[in-house]
Amino acid sequence: MEKVVLITGASSGIGMNAAIYLAQKGMKVYAAARRIERLESLKQYGIIPIQMDITKEEDRLNAVNLILRTEGRIDVLFNNAGFGLFGPLEDISIEDAKYQFDVNLFSLARLTQMVLPYMRNQKSGRIINTSSIGGKITSLLGGWYHASKFALEAYSDCLRLEVKQYGIKVVLIEPGLIKSEFAQKTYQDAKKFENSPYSNLLERVKKQAENDYIKRHVGSDPIVVSKVLFKAITRKKPKTRYLCGKLSKTAVFARWILPDKVLDWILLKR
């Protein structure tokens, strides 16, 4: 039986690449995104586009109901939608910070709640969450983004324990540097706070991001995430976490082995 997969945040980068990869592997893929027009090209692969603003209850409910009416089941939920809010913690409004958590955690959790009853009933399923090495180690001016990903790690760990009895597996994918629009957004966001008392740090981040993401295009191809995702879906006993992409293992090892003050020095120097 072909796997029925729902992917959020499928309009670009990791999500779009994953949708195509899984469809080519014979899975029935429903690709969701806020900007449905950007999903048009996926139809040629047999992928079904769904308009979904992950933060809107009606959109979430419509997506789940559509898949269940059509397929009668959901085997895999790939919670991939997310974004990074970058800037000084003193400058970013609490309203913006709440929205960061809404997209990266609370809306993800609500969509998961909608899918779980059906997975429990069929006594199988995979909930796969896109975290980040940013859920393990922080970077300069990424405070609210990192906080949301640290929280996602804890949420996933608890969920994994709760749903194990129903044959449902929960997996975290922790990418490092991946070529995507997400990375370039760091550069764009760093330019917003021109009058900030942290303008010196902002200027350093802007220059580094410009050098890395715009000039050098550093980062791994999104296909590395798609291959890991395929393993997480198809293996009988998947890992609880998969590190992938540039600097992922290096960063996590550094977090594990280095004292906080040494790591702080490295991050500030970088």
Tens of pLDDT, residues 156-210: 999 999 999 999 999 999 999 887 766 566 656 666 787 899 988 888 877 776 6
pLDDT of residue 220: 84
Which sequence spans correspond to the domains of the chain?
Answer: 4-180+221-269
Supply the CATH classification number for the domain 4-180+221-269.
Answer: 3.40.50.720
Q: Which residues pair with 169 in a beta bridge?
A: 126
pLDDT of residue 123: 97
Closest CA to 10 of 18, 127, 26: 18
More confident residue, 270 or 117: 117
Q: List the catalytic residues.
A: 145
What is the C-alpha radius of gyration for the chain, rounded to an integer number of angstroms?
Answer: 19
Rounded to 5 degrees, φ, ψ at 176 are -90, -135
When the pLDDT of each residue in the chain is averaged and rounded to a whole number, the result is: 91
Strand partners, 168: 125
Collapsed DSSP state (helix, strand, coil) of residue 30: strand
Look at residue 11 and tell me whether its pLDDT is greater than 70: yes
What per-residue confidence (pLDDT) applies to 146?
A: 96
Please report the pLDDT score of residue 43 as a whole number. 97
- The bridge status of strand 48-51 relative to strand 76-79 is unpaired
**Over pLDDT 70: what percentage of the chain?**
91
Q: Which residue in this structure is represented by tokens 């995702």?
A: 229
Which pairing describes strands 125-130 and 168-175: parallel, antiparallel, or unpaired? parallel
6: left (phi > 0), else alpha (psi -120 to 50), else beta? Answer: beta
Question: From CA 39, how far away is CA 253, in angstroms rounded?
Answer: 37
With cut-offs at 50, 70 and 90, classify the pLDDT of residue 217. low
pTM for the full predicted model: 0.92
Check if the beta carbon of residue 137 is closer than 8 Å to that of residue 87.
Answer: no
Stretch among 150-154, 210-214, 228-232 having the lowest mean pLDDT: 210-214
pLDDT, one tens digit per residue, over 122-162 is 999 999 999 999 999 998 899 999 999 999 999 999 999 99
What's the pLDDT band for 254 if we cut at 50, 70, 90?
confident
Taking residues 3-29, report their average pLDDT.
Answer: 97
> pLDDT per residue over 258-267, tens digit each?
898 998 888 8
Q: How far is CA 253 from CA 82, 138, 151, 181, 263, in A?
A: 25, 13, 20, 26, 11
Q: What is the pLDDT of residue 182?
A: 61
DSSP strand E in the chain: where? 4-7, 28-33, 48-51, 76-79, 125-130, 168-175, 241-244
Ordered DSSP codes for 161-226:
HHHGGGTEEEEEEEE-BB-SHHHHHHHHHTTS-TT-TTHHHHHHHHHHHIIIIIIS--SB-THHHH
At 164, give phi and psi (nearest 5°): -55, -40
61-77 pLDDT, tens per residue?
999 999 999 999 999 99
- Mean pLDDT along residues 246-265: 87
> Using 50, 70 and 90 to split pLDDT, how confident is the model at 253?
confident
pLDDT at position 183, please? 58
Give me the pLDDT at residue 234, please.
97
Q: Which tokens sit at 160?
A: 């994994």
SS3 70: helix
Tokens of 70: 């059509």
